[in-house]
Structure 1
Amino acid sequence: MKTNFMKVSTWAMALCASMAVFTACNDDENGTTPPPAPSVENLGGIVTENMTLTANTEYKLTSQLQVKAPAVLTIEEGVKITAADSEDPIYILIEQGAKINAVGTVENPIVMTAENKTAGGWGGLHICGYAPTNAGSGFSEIGNAAYGGNDANDNSGVLKYIRLEYTGFALDDEHESNGISFYGVGAGTQVSYVQTYVGADDGLEFFGGTVNVDHCVVVDCTDDSFDWTEGWSGTATNLVAYQTDASCDCLIEADNNGDNFDATPVAHPTLRNLYLVGNGSSENKRGIRLRAGTRANIDGAKVAGKPNPLTIETTQTDDALANGTSVLKNVQIAGVLKNDVTGGKYLSANFLAGQGNAENAQIATTWDDVAGDLSFAWLNDAWVTAVQ
């Protein structure tokens, strides 16, 4: 009897084990086995050697992360960086000669966010390069790092499939942080598929440099969605700005140099394929604001949700449009052009004479309308946080 009992028990245990294995296999095949919880590691300080943030790991940013030359900060797909809730500035700064290689994917983007899930929760990303600016050698507003030089093709790394949330921490009125601040960043740097979501200053700001960007979307950054100054001359393709917060200011604020409108190299970027939707505010009225001597070539834009969707504010900017140095074409605005220059030359008639330009255009303005435009179907991809 004892022997038989042991045989039966052994057989029963084997049967249970095989059923457990079978069930586990079925769970795996059906995708019901939960993935392991990601580990969380603290992050911060001065980086002088190459550092890699590994895929699908969560990091808590407890202080500034400052990367010095010649170190490279590599961030793999699926990494999530959460800035601690702190009264001290917390940000990521890439200095001249250092690099950031941050490459996510459509389904597994890199996310930089904050414990304090409100605008201004942390200080964002700052990149300093050796490309030319018209302000000479300057220092970043956050981190006081040098930027500017003579290398138009300077390479500060790669940003791809990245979402930055709740940026905009301000030290004071003169030292503010954007979603991403590009300080003298060169054309060797690659920037594609970037979103800044709910910030307390600008979404993307360019301080000189020659960096090119594409597929960038800014949602509810309460100063300007896009901003350039100090002679930026890159190319930006497939840009979206979307504002619902009443405090949001310009969709694009464009300067050459606020202290010297004639400073060289003159800001003269090329922008293609834009969809810009404002918040309808009667106080923050301007959509695309061209001023302080900037030039610009814009080919393909829809601008709505602002009482003054397109404004021209300085003589140098007006002259460049009138003489063809700057060109606006295929630009549709839900309103009329406003020229604030005394004796201005580039008026509504000139604008309407441009190829494909239109005033008082009927432009659809819901988020679904924008994402439903075939040119902006990428807004439906998983890496983008949509406006509900």
Structure 2
Amino acid sequence: MKTMKSKFYSLALAAGMLTLTACSDDNTNDSNNDKGNGIENGSILKGTITEDVTLKAGNTYKLSGEYIVEAGATLNIEEGVKIISVYDNIVDYILVKQGAKINAVGTPDKPIVMTSEKEEPGAWGGIHICGKAHTNAEGGKGSSEIGGAVYGGNDDADNSGTLQYIRLEYTGFAFDEEHEANGISFYGVGNGTIVDHCEAYKGSDDGFEFFGGSVNVSNMVVVSCSDDSFDWTEGWNGKGTDLVAYQEAKATLGYDCDCLIEADNNENDNAATPVSHPVLKNLILAGNGESKQGIRLRRGTQADIDNAKVCGKGQPLVVESALTNAALKNGTSRLTNMTVTAALKSDGDYTNDDFTAVTSNKVDATLSYASFDAIKAACDWMKGNWIK
């Protein structure tokens, strides 16, 4: 997680905001001419769309600069579509504004793949979705770190579309030391949105990050993202089921990775409401052997975590801040059926003795996964070509 600032970043387009949906080397496709029509194979995606458009099954597209879905429009992406970010000095990203939707639906063997011409972490800017669900940011509204789009509200059932069987590779474009792009950033996204079977692969920031909202996710995989695999703040209280994070060893990967989960309520006000309190079940989190944290619960967050295995980190489970400790101590937060490889570390009164007093929790230094394939073998839902 990067420190939030009031400043935001967006592409500067010399001629102002474009209204073109896509263009190719030979022609331009304007989404406003044929609502919902498919965009030609090989086209370049850029600018803004104000009516429904469709990227047709099996086609390949280039992403050049910002691609913004305005309120009232839907970006449909069909199975087997490949989107390749153009590698140049302009950040490429997809931004779905409040009131807009993205329906990106792949299949296990025909996933939607979003990647870059340069196959290195940080090559492009990922997906940013802004919804109308809650955030505990000051004033109940926020502005997306990339694109500066408004998010937040009081509609926790808000629907921003569907994301299924998607792989995002090499995200994490860095504007500066404080602003990098995640694989998918969920800004105040509501639980009317469907999100499952998504992978973030070798990004240079977080895999998936939640800024408030109530969106539920399942069958999510993060592989070797250099910052946090999963990250939440600003009051996220959705459900997460079947979550996997794997970090390749630094010696072979070439860079270090931070937390497997980094969890906050609100950095500036640990007591801000609504309080972050996701309910997570069925987690396998395997670190890269370095000394950093596995699950880091801090800054007032609450959480229910059930059936989690955490290994490969010097500090597999860490609890920080008075309010986070208190919620665990009084039972507001619950950790159950968890196995970690070293004793819980805390800066407060919730201790490893409290953790292991729950009979389903244990410390087992022998827990390990020899490879990513070993994790895949333990998760029957990870079959298909959508996983890399």
TM-score (norm 2): 0.86
Task: Give the distance between the partners of 1:252 and 1:62, measured in 2 at CA.
Answer: 31
Give the counterpart of 1:248 among 228, 252, 257: 257
Task: Give the distance between the partners of 1:236 and 1:361, measured in 2 at CA.
Answer: 26
Give the counterpart of 1:288 among 284, 295, 301: 295
**Which residue of structure 1 lines up, in the alignment, with residue 147 of structure 2?**
143
Secondary structure of the corresponding residue to residue 236 of structure 2: coil
Check conservation: 1:336, 1:360, Cα contact below 8 A: no
Alignment of 1:204-283 (within 5 A): 204-244=208-248, 245=250, 246-282=255-291
Q: Report the Cα offset of residue 378 of structure 1.
A: 2.3
Task: Give the distance between the partners of 2:160 and 2:185, measured in 1 at CA.
Answer: 13
Deviation sequence 1:237-272 (CA, Å, 0-9, x none)? 000000014421000000000000000000000000
Q: Report the Cα offset of residue 382 of structure 1.
A: 1.9
> What residue identity is the alignment partner of 2:302?
R
Give the counterpart of 1:379 among 378, 382, 386: 382
**Which residue of structure 2 lines up, in the alignment, with residue 195 of structure 1?**
199
Which of 89-98 and 376-385 deviates more? 376-385
Task: Give the distance between the partners of 1:307 and 1:364, measured in 2 at CA.
Answer: 13
Check conservation: 1:42, 1:60, Cα contact below 8 A: yes
Task: Give the distance between the partners of 2:284 and 2:335, measured in 1 at CA.
Answer: 15
Check conservation: 2:339, 2:363, Cα contact below 8 A: yes
Matched, 1:323 2:330: yes
Higher helix share: 1
Count of aligned pairs: 341
Check conservation: 2:286, 2:311, Cα contact below 8 A: yes
Q: Report the Cα offset of residue 355 of structure 1.
A: 3.9
Give the counterpart of 1:369 among 365, 369, 374: 374
Task: Give the distance between the partners of 1:249 and 1:51, measured in 2 at CA.
Answer: 38
Q: Report the Cα offset of residue 116 of structure 1.
A: 1.1
Which of 303-312 and 167-176 deviates more? 167-176
Task: Give the distance between the partners of 1:67 and 1:372, measured in 2 at CA.
Answer: 38
**Which residue of structure 2 lines up, in the alignment, with residue 34 of structure 1?**
none
Q: Which has the higher contact order (CA 8 A, sep 6+)?
A: 2
**Which residue of structure 2 lines up, in the alignment, with residue 173 of structure 1?**
177
Q: Report the Cα offset of residue 287 of structure 1.
A: 0.3
Deviation sequence 1:27-86 (CA, Å, 0-9, x none)? xxxxxxxxxxx9411111111111110111100011210000100000000100000002
Check conservation: 1:332, 1:361, Cα contact below 8 A: no
> What residue identity is the alignment partner of 1:315?
A
**Which residue of structure 2 lines up, in the alignment, with residue 66 of structure 1?**
68
> What residue identity is the alignment partner of 1:128?
C
Give the counterpart of 2:43 among 28, 41, 44: 41
**Which residue of structure 2 lines up, in the alignment, with residue 23 of structure 1?**
none
**Which residue of structure 2 lines up, in the alignment, with residue 85 of structure 1?**
87
Secondary structure of the corresponding residue to residue 266 of structure 2: coil
Which of 350-359 and 234-243 deviates more? 350-359
> What residue identity is the alignment partner of 1:56?
G
Alignment of 1:120-139 (within 5 A): 120-135=122-137, 136-139=140-143
Check conservation: 1:364, 1:370, Cα contact below 8 A: no
Check conservation: 2:287, 2:294, Cα contact below 8 A: yes
Check conservation: 1:153, 1:188, Cα contact below 8 A: yes
Secondary structure of the corresponding residue to residue 40 of structure 1: coil
Q: Report the Cα offset of residue 364 of structure 1.
A: 2.8
Structure 1: 5+ residue stretches without partners: 1-37
CA RMSD, Structure 1 to Structure 2 (Å): 1.1
Deviation sequence 1:126-173 (CA, Å, 0-9, x none)? 000000010021100000000000001000000000000000001122
Check conservation: 1:202, 1:224, Cα contact below 8 A: yes
Q: Report the Cα offset of residue 175 of structure 1.
A: 2.3
Give the counterpart of 2:163 among 135, 146, 159: 159
Larger radius of gyration: 1
Task: Give the distance between the partners of 1:330 and 1:361, measured in 2 at CA.
Answer: 16
Secondary structure of the corresponding residue to residue 105 of structure 1: coil
Structure 2: 5+ residue stretches without partners: 1-39
**Which residue of structure 2 lines up, in the alignment, with residue 306 of structure 1?**
313
Task: Give the distance between the partners of 1:369 and 1:105, measured in 2 at CA.
Answer: 23
**Which residue of structure 2 lines up, in the alignment, with residue 106 of structure 1?**
108
Deviation sequence 1:90-140 (CA, Å, 0-9, x none)? 100000000000000011010000011100010000000000010021100
Task: Give the distance between the partners of 1:108 and 1:224, measured in 2 at CA.
Answer: 28
Q: Report the Cα offset of residue 194 of structure 1.
A: 0.2
Task: Give the distance between the partners of 1:44 and 1:56, measured in 2 at CA.
Answer: 19
TM-score (norm 1): 0.86
> What residue identity is the alignment partner of 1:308?
Q
